[in-house]
Amino acid sequence: MVTVEEIRNAQRSKGPATILAFGTATPSHCVTQADYPDYYFRITNSEHMTDLKEKFKRMCMFLINYIINL
Give residue 55's pLDDT: 92
55-64: pLDDT as tens digits: 999 988 888 8
Give, in order, the Cα–Cα distances in Å from 49 to each of 30, 31, 42, 69. Answer: 24, 21, 11, 31
Give residue 24's pLDDT: 67
Which DSSP symbol is given to 12? Answer: S
Is 25 inside any structural domain? no
1-50: pLDDT as tens digits: 888 888 888 877 676 666 666 666 666 777 888 888 898 999 999 989 99
* Cα separation, 44 vs 42, whole angstroms: 6
Q: Report the Cα–Cα distance between both ends of the chain, in Å, rounded.
A: 56
Give residue 8's pLDDT: 82
Q: How many domains does the chain have?
A: 1
Which residue range forms the structural domain that includes residue 57? 30-69
- Please check the confidence at residue 65 and state whether its pLDDT lies above 80: yes
* Cα separation, 18 vs 64, whole angstroms: 42
Determine the residue type at 14. Answer: K
Give residue 20's pLDDT: 64
Is 38 inside any structural domain? yes
